[in-house]
Amino acid sequence: MNNLELKQRDLDVLWHPCTQMKDHETLPLIPIKKAEGVYLEDFDGNRYIDAISSWWVNLFGHTNKYINEKLKEQLETLEHVILAGFTHEQVVRLSERLVKLTPEGLAKCFYSDNGSSAIEVALKMSYHAHLNDGKKDKNYFVSLTNSYHGETLGALSVGDVQLYKDTYKPLLLETIQTPVPVDMSIEAAKKAASEFELLCKSRSSEISALILEPLVQGAGSMHMYHEEFLVLVREICNRYDIHLIADEVMVGFGRTGELFACQKANITPDFLILSKGLTGGYLPLSVVLTTNEIYAKFYCGYNEHKAFLHSHSYTGNALACACANATLDIFENENIIEKNRVIAKVMGDKLERFLELENVKSIRQTGMICAIELKDYPAELRIGLVVYNYGLQNGVLLRPLGNVIYFMPPYIITNEEIDKVMQTAYDAIKSIS
């Protein structure tokens, strides 16, 4: 088997995610044969550093020995069991640990199998919790401008990246957007929070929840803001009886420098959504954590019809939960958050250099996420694609978002590998100017 053969067989039968398939007439599809640590290897023996953690999911490298071992153990014991009426050890242990590790007050775990479906769960739970309280008019969700919460219709409705949303507008829920802080300054945080408060003053009786990506808007081109915004909107939500939903699908599990981004602001959301890094990048799994207060609103006699009748076939899959427990073991045993601070510093120091390039507009960093914004090239030039191709030719997987190049590597990356990734990006940007 070689790259070419697999690529042709693929294009005969596959339709790839988030892709104009015609691009693959010229753009090489890359079949991956195996992976280890930060490296992906194709069928022709080329190796690529996975600088984007395979769409932001991988934490401790590919085919991680410890997670492999724990997954194999679980495979011999229990692969999956229905989670309605039944339970298992991995899901109980995982839930106990998540309740302990997440912000104080989050006490109950509801599982699903990907980020988008967990968003749906949180939206429905928020609306339903108000309804169970006798509040029938809270039919609107508020989200931030430039936000991204996934691709299913509910998640798309609260998102604000027009590239993904526009086509489906007639199908979507009507939602309200309030401005995201324009930059990382505390002034921008205060200004955006006061705009949200203005909205609450006029419409709070109709608003069920504010949903946001804490600190970093991922698919919205790694837009970053100050943690004071979270402090302020938490307080405003409390005053106006609006839930706060924290979508930590991307920023959770150490990406921002704390285990969870909400911890930077020392706040507890009413709903916390986790997925991507939850299993270390091994298997699909997501979870919505909420408070006992919310949980209690659904707890009553069957005939009161207040139960949350939502389910997914693979809810709480045992193999995925085993990977999640193994991932949490690594956090616990290897002092990862501390080690990440050192790596983040190394990346931050090297990031400064990009400002030398005349086509770089700005740089930004939050913990283990670094981004470089290029000057506004017209979209038709597809500058991101140029950088992507340059990276591949030089052994690095970069996948820019429009004019923004970013690094979000697995936490096991070495200084030499960081050097290689950032030098490749530097040369790629230089080659454009």
Ligand X SMILES: *Cc1c(COP(=O)(O)O)cnc(C)c1O
Q: Which residues in this chain contact ligand X in the complex, by CB under 6 A?
A: 114-116, 119, 148-150, 213, 218-219, 247, 249-250, 275
Shortest Cβ 315–ligand X spacing (Å):
15
Q: Is 312 exposed, middle or buried (0-12, 13-18, 19+ CB in 10 A)?
A: middle
Comparing CB distances to ligand X, the nearer of 226 and 276 is 276
Shortest Cβ 19–ligand X spacing (Å):
15
Shortest Cβ 67–ligand X spacing (Å):
19
**Six-digit token pair at 307?**
């139960």
Shortest Cβ 363–ligand X spacing (Å):
21
Q: How far apart are CA 164 and CA 424, in angstroms?
A: 29
Q: How far apart are CA 420 and CA 407, in angstroms?
A: 12
Q: What are the angstrom distances between the C-alpha of 193 and each of 113, 225, 232, 247?
A: 32, 12, 6, 18
Shortest Cβ 150–ligand X spacing (Å):
3
Residue nearest to ligand X (CB): 115
Comparing CB distances to ligand X, the nearer of 158 and 242 is 158
Shortest Cβ 180–ligand X spacing (Å):
13
Comparing CB distances to ligand X, the nearer of 149 and 226 is 149
Positive or negative CA dihedral for 84, 89, 93, 96?
positive
What's the DSSP call for residue 52? T
Q: How far apart are CA 253 and CA 278, in angstroms?
A: 7
Comparing CB distances to ligand X, the nearer of 218 and 391 is 218
Comparing CB distances to ligand X, the nearer of 37 and 115 is 115
SS3 of residue 224 by DSSP: strand
Among 161, 190, 187, smallest CA distance to 18 is for 161
Q: How far apart are CA 223 and CA 228, in angstroms?
A: 15
Shortest Cβ 307–ligand X spacing (Å):
25
Shortest Cβ 144–ligand X spacing (Å):
11
Shortest Cβ 276–ligand X spacing (Å):
6
Q: What are the angstrom distances between the C-alpha of 256 and each of 52, 200, 287?
A: 15, 29, 19
Q: Is 233 exposed, middle or buried (0-12, 13-18, 19+ CB in 10 A)?
A: buried
Shortest Cβ 383–ligand X spacing (Å):
22
Comparing CB distances to ligand X, the nearer of 58 and 275 is 275
Would you say how long the chain is, in residues?
A: 433
Shortest Cβ 69–ligand X spacing (Å):
25
The torsion region of residue 255 among left (phi > 0), alpha (psi -120 to 50) and beta comes to: alpha
Comparing CB distances to ligand X, the nearer of 112 and 204 is 112
Comparing CB distances to ligand X, the nearer of 210 and 428 is 210
Q: How far apart are CA 346 and CA 422, in angstroms?
A: 11
Shortest Cβ 155–ligand X spacing (Å):
6
Among 39, 42, 49, 31, smallest CA distance to 407 is for 49
Comparing CB distances to ligand X, the nearer of 218 and 257 is 218
**Six-digit token pair at 80?**
């999956």
Comparing CB distances to ligand X, the nearer of 288 and 412 is 288
**Six-digit token pair at 118?**
């967990």
The DSSP secondary structure of 355-414, one letter per residue, reads GGSTTEEEEEEETTEEEEEEP---GGG-HHHHHHHHHHHTTEE---BTTEEEE---TT--
Q: Which residues contact 326 (CB under 8 A, 6 or more apart)?
A: 66, 67, 69, 70, 71, 280
Comparing CB distances to ligand X, the nearer of 219 and 404 is 219
Comparing CB distances to ligand X, the nearer of 149 and 399 is 149
